[in-house]
Amino acid sequence: MGRKATMADVAREAGVSPATVDRVLNGRGGVDTDKEARVLAAARRLRLDRALAIRPHRMLRVAVLIQAPRNPFHAALRTGLDTAARVYADLNIQFFVHHIDPNDPKSTAGIVARQTMETDGLIVTLPDEPRITEAVGAAAAARPVVTFATDLPTSGRAAYVGPNDRRAGRVAGDLMGLFLGPQGGRVLLIAGRRDILGQRSREDGFRQILAERHPGIDVAPTAENGEDGERAGRIVLEALSADHAIRGIYHMSAGAQPVVAALRRLGRTDSTAFITHELTPDRRDLLRERAISAVIDQQPDLEARIAVETMARLLRRLDGAAESVETGFAIHMPENA
């Protein structure tokens, strides 16, 4: 059996003085963040027993920018973030959630700018509107930025955590083709905002697979509800009342319950295929009632946890490379809801 590691071993491994190791491992403070991270990483690599439960001395602050919890998907993201923050409480990182209005890019860009000055990093899910992308780009030049759930690929962000939305859209389109069958028909697409890259990518994938494999399906012009659930219901009422050829709805935003309420009011629940995203509690119930045909879920709790881990790596509070992670998605239907 080899000898146990000592503080002198840790000092050599981390490239610091024994006094610095002593200050870190005894929680005395006064060590900059970079040296502290090197000491803790070295101590854990060398399996120094007393390092396993050492909490970094300096608290780091991370801003998280998501929509308000009235959007059920963003409520699920918030729950996942809160859980991840508890799991990694020993890393001494505090996460401050700020709710943004996706329909107010000027205000959102201002929040990004302020949080860049006040925090050590940002985790964001935002529209790729020019003012927002510019603000995130400025943030990324000064701080680590992680995008999750939807990306801002031209912003200079350090990493993206989330699904391949084009592939998810292709899956939705293939399901729609199977639901409508050889008869085909017209499909109504409802996006929240088309300047949210994830939704735009889903639409692209949906249209692409229909053109390739289901040419009997025609897609009506895409409607945007501005991430307003009640507006989604009004869109369905108006569109299906005016166009009786619509046999399917592909919905990418808030408002599953209003959409179902509109279908029920029109007596079209059984005759309309309804595909949406995110298995929130209300959508699970509607799926079990067969008011929704299928839900494609991107596992927001997993996204949130990986986003927190990625930020912790960027801040050198966790070992390992901080890379973009493509999370998967699952298909839920009434029988596995």
* φ/ψ (deg, to 5) at 164: -85, 95
> What dihedral do alpha carbons 171, 227, 73, 144 form, nearest 10°?
100
Contact residues for 193 (Cβ-Cβ < 8 A; gap 6+):
102, 103, 127, 199, 224, 226, 227, 253
Please give the model's pTM, rounded to 2 decimal places: 0.83
Please tell me the distance from the alpha carbon of residue 269 to that of residue 263, in angstroms, as a whole number: 5
Residue 1: pLDDT band with limits 50, 70, 90: very low
- pLDDT digit string (tens) for 195-238? 999 999 999 999 999 999 999 999 999 999 999 999 999 999 99
Q: Using the predicted structure, report yes or no on whether residue 34 has a pLDDT greater than 60.
A: yes
105 neighbors 131 (Cβ within 8 angstroms): yes
Please tell me the distance from the alpha carbon of residue 134 to that of residue 105, in angstroms, as a whole number: 11
Q: Which of 106, 163, 134, 118 is nearest to 306 (CA)?
A: 163
Angle at 178 between CA 286 and CA 213, to 5 degrees: 135
Residue 235's pLDDT is 98
53 or 132, greater pLDDT: 132
Please tell me the distance from the alpha carbon of residue 106 to that of residue 59, in angstroms, as a whole number: 30
Please tell me the distance from the alpha carbon of residue 153 to that of residue 133, in angstroms, as a whole number: 9
Contact residues for 191 (Cβ-Cβ < 8 A; gap 6+):
199, 200, 203, 222, 223, 224, 225, 252, 253
Angle at 235 between CA 229 and CA 236, to 5 degrees: 100
Structure letter (DSSP) for residue 239: H
Q: What is the mean pLDDT of the chain?
A: 92
- pLDDT digit string (tens) for 74-129? 999 999 999 999 988 888 999 999 999 999 999 999 999 999 999 999 999 999 99
- pLDDT digit string (tens) for 65-85? 999 998 889 999 999 999 999
- Helix, strand, coil percent content, the chain, rounded in steps of 5: 50, 20, 35
Average pLDDT over residues 122-137: 97
Q: Using the predicted structure, report yes or no on whether residue 53 has a pLDDT greater than 60.
A: no
Please tell me the distance from the alpha carbon of residue 113 to that of residue 269, in angstroms, as a whole number: 46
